Amino acid sequence: IYMIGAALANDKMKAWARIEIFEVFYSGIIFAIALTAIASFDIVVRFIVDTSEDDFAMIICLDNPNDPDAQRLMPSFTAYGDIGFCHIKLAMYFLGTVFEEMSDAAFDVYHSYIVTSTLADASINIEFVTEKAGFFTFTPWRGFLTPGNTQKNAAFEFLSKLMMITKIQEIFIGFIAEALFPTLLVAGIVLRSFMFTRRLGGLLMAMALSLFFLYPMFYVFGAFVIGTIKTSACNTIPACAGNPIGYDGKL
């Protein structure tokens, strides 16, 4: 277009072509800054983990997917162990830990519900064998156990929904790091280089950076809180005190 404008001596076409060339160059600069920011951000997060003296966070941020401690702390670590970003691993570790805790709680609630519901349905039958035969049945414990069973049923349903939502978020964060973020970022850079799709390209770039940086960071703080809670619980167990990572029991 610039050459056509020069041949036609049209300054407006030449000016428009110069602006578009600058936008392409500017998109390349943005892409280079984004790549530098990704590496710098990961270095900062790893530095925070190292200085926090959180043993759980340091194990999670290891780049070795075959590490047995990391696999024990994070059941899904093997599936997402090739993710090289510390904040993504910490976010997934937090969500995975919350899922496991809710799974244990739901199992305990369901196990208790089985016992109390069986007792609530237990009945006593009395049958007359005299001339006027008849019988009657009464359940002496139903009235005492019904309120608790209702609450346990509601708690189990609520925990099941929370478990599903939490696991979906954990998988979604891994999907962002592995596929969605690079796809949106590259597509945004390409679309931003053209005039008619510039706004769409900028929107895709903003979505990619927000999903990759901001969204997981909401859960990174939770990962540190979980590590503190586990460390405090570990100090109350003689076999775990001083060795929270190597302890195989339940905190």
Structure tokens at 23: 């936008």
Structure confidence at residue 166 as a pLDDT band (50, 70, 90): very high
Kindly state the DSSP code that residue 136 receives in the 8-state scheme.
E
Average pLDDT, the chain: 79
Write down the pLDDT at residue 63: 66
Write down the pLDDT at residue 161: 94
**Whole-angstrom Cα Rg for the chain:** 30
Write down the pLDDT at residue 228: 80
Looking up tokens 């006027």 gives 132
pLDDT-wise least confident of 11-20, 73-82, 145-154: 73-82
What distance lies between CA 143 and its chain's CA centroid? 42
Write down the pLDDT at residue 102: 92
Structure tokens at 186: 């590259």
Q: Could you read off the pLDDT of 131-158 as tens digits, one per residue?
A: 566 666 667 776 778 888 889 999 999 9
Q: Could you read off the pLDDT of 202-230 as tens digits, one per residue?
A: 899 889 988 998 899 889 888 888 878 87
* pTM given for the model: 0.76
pLDDT-wise least confident of 39-53, 59-73, 161-175, 185-199: 59-73
What phi-psi label fits residue 242: left (phi over 0), alpha (psi between -120 and 50 degrees) or beta? left
Asked whether residue 235 carries a pLDDT value surpassing 90, the answer given is: no
Number of Cβ within 10 Å of residue 247's Cβ equals 16
Write down the pLDDT at residue 191: 85
Percent of the chain past pLDDT 70, that is, above it, reads: 79
Structure confidence at residue 75 as a pLDDT band (50, 70, 90): low
DSSP letters spanning 141-186 = THHHHHHHHHHHHHHHHHHHHHHHHHHHHHHHHHHIIIIIHHHHHH
Q: Return the half-sphere exposure (C-beta side, CA atoms, 13 A cut-off) of residue 199.
A: 1
Q: How far is CA 153 from CA 43, 100, 112, 175, 238, in A?
A: 46, 19, 10, 33, 36
101 CB-contact burial (10 Å; exposed 0-12 / middle 13-18 / buried 19+) = middle
Helices marked H in the chain: 2-7, 11-52, 55-60, 68-73, 77-80, 86-120, 142-175, 181-192, 198-209, 215-235
Asked whether residue 165 carries a pLDDT value surpassing 90, the answer given is: yes
